Amino acid sequence: MNVGLQVFDANGNLDVDTTTGIAKYLGKFTTGFSNGSFKAKELINRRLWLCNSAFSVDTKTYRHTLDGGGTGHAKMYFKEMDYPKIKFDYSSGTVYWEYIQPGVEKVQPGNTVIYDYSRISCEFIVGAV
């Protein structure tokens, strides 16, 4: 006989079921300020959960320019924070993260937009169900 907690939504559909599994804490990882990954065999073919527990801001600024060529047009400058984009591969149990890559992209002629990014390093608590 299974023992645990089951929670149903307003339509009677099972929403949470701890009778077959419960969330397991696996540890922490920090992204740092560059692309990277975290791998754990306990994550293979499991449902991942992440909780951001801390972050810090890089003092270095990364510039990304959208340049349409053109002359005589004012440039627009923006300051933004660059949080890591998180991806998860179930088959390998790997969490990947990546930041915006500095560079230049062409846009409509005459328009130039310059983004200055300060990268955010995130510490995550990670687990699986």
Task: Give residue 95's pLDDT.
Answer: 94
What secondary structure letter does DSSP report for 42? G
- Number of residues assigned to the chain: 129
Q: Within a domain: residue 11? A: no
Residue 41 main-chain phi, psi, to 5 deg: -60, -25
Q: Which residue has the higher pLDDT, 117 or 103?
A: 117
Task: Give residue 21's pLDDT.
Answer: 66
Q: Within a domain: residue 2? A: no
Domain that holds residue 92: 22-128
pTM over 0.85, yes/no? no
Instruction: Find tokens 């937009």 and name the residue.
Output: 113
Q: Within a domain: residue 121? A: yes
Task: Give residue 115's pLDDT.
Answer: 76
Instruction: Tell me the pLDDT tens digit for each residue of 4-51.
Output: 788 899 999 888 777 766 778 899 999 999 999 999 999 999 888 899
Under 8 Å between Cβ of 123 and 29: yes
Instruction: Tell me the pLDDT tens digit for each residue of 68-105.
Output: 555 555 566 677 788 889 999 989 999 999 987 766 55
Q: Within a domain: residue 8? A: no
Q: Within a domain: residue 1? A: no
Q: Which tokens belong to 58?
A: 């890089």
Burial category of 95 from C-beta neighbours within 10 Å (exposed 0-12, middle 13-18, buried 19 and up): buried
Task: Give residue 16's pLDDT.
Answer: 77
Q: Within a domain: residue 112? A: yes
Q: How many domains does the chain have?
A: 1
